[in-house]
Amino acid sequence: MNHSTVANAEVVRLITIPISHYCEKVRWGLDLLKIPYIEERHVPAFHSFATRKYGGSSVPVLVTKSGNFTDSTDILHYLDTLSRESHGLYPKEPELRREVEELEELFDARLGADTRTWAYFYRSGDRKTMRTAWCNGTPLFERLGFEIAFPLISSKVRQVYSITADSAASSLQGIKEVFEIVDRRLAGGKTYLAGDTISAADIIFAALAAPVLLPPEHPVSVAKIEELPIEMAAVIKELQSTAAGVYALRLYREQRHVS
């Protein structure tokens, strides 16, 4: 890991739930900017003991000497100020920066919620899948808690995110709409969503779309497409073959260097 690219070489702490795509968005930002960090993973429900200390309820939470950040977008903006890379996550040029921030807002508010709803509809009741998704790299005590409390955690998650057949169907509609917006932005062979280099817009799209694209390079890989329910696998294959899907999978393949 190259500490010289970081303003003060502080090792920050990132509190996560392993499969959370909002956490993956921040992990990717840290890896891209080569900022040294320690990830502290928790099983859902147990995560709140860790986040509460820092004033957060959800993950990710970033703990730094300069303060604690409890929202993934605030975290990316903060990380950008630490970076000494030639380009950060947000372009300096005001018009381009505005474009990145508009896309960020769209992906955070719509895509992230929709991909989570749709994927949880199919998978949140499956103990084996959720064992990897929620327990990978977490403390032993929490993994034991998962084995005992899985039905409760799973049903709480479905309740909190209102996971039903109807919400999954309307989320899929929402996902397709955002993919079409991205398809249009990439028209003409553009490599990135805004400007000539990778920006926050690109990593946010790819990270928040990961639950419906299953990139093999994802640090928490939960399932192979052959293992999924047929209906779910068919939708994933369809989304993988769109211009937006091909682009996000390429970003994972070429730009997701896990530290």
Q: Which residues would be at the binding site for ligand GSH (CB under 6 A)?
A: 17, 20, 22, 44, 48, 57-60, 71-73, 108, 116
Q: How far is the CB of 122 from ligand GSH (least distance, A)?
A: 16
Smaller CB separation from ligand GSH, 59 or 239 = 59
In whole angstroms, the minimum distance from the beta carbon of 112 to ligand GSH comes to 7
With CB atoms as reference, the residue minimizing the distance to ligand GSH is 58
Q: Judged by CB, which is closer to ligand GSH: 22, or 37?
A: 22
As measured in angstroms, the least distance from the Cβ of 3 to ligand GSH is 26
Q: Which is nearer to ligand GSH, 24 or 99 (CB)?
A: 24
Using the CB atoms, write b or e for 170-184: b if 16+ within 10 Å.
Answer: ebbebbbebbebbbe
Q: 116 vs 123, which CB is nearer to ligand GSH?
A: 116
Closest separation in Å from C-beta 160 to ligand GSH: 7
Three-class SS string for 104-130? HHHHHHHHHHHHHHHHHHHHCCCHHHH
End-to-end CA distance of the chain: 7
Q: State the number of CA atoms in the 13 A half-sphere of 116 facing the CB.
A: 20
**Contact criterion met (CB below 8 Å) for 48 and 57:** yes
Q: Is the dihedral of CA 80, 82, 88, 92 positive or negative?
A: positive
Q: Which helix H or strand E contains 64, and what residues bound it?
A: strand 61-64
Task: State which residue, 75 or 228, has the beta carbon closest to ligand GSH.
Answer: 75
CB of 30: closest distance to ligand GSH in angstroms? 14
Q: Nearest distance from residue 166's CB to ligand GSH, in Å? A: 21
| Whether 78 contacts 90, CB under 8 Å | no
Among residues 204 and 248, whose Cβ is nearest to ligand GSH?
Answer: 204
C-alpha angle 29-251-24 in degrees, rounded to nearest 5: 35
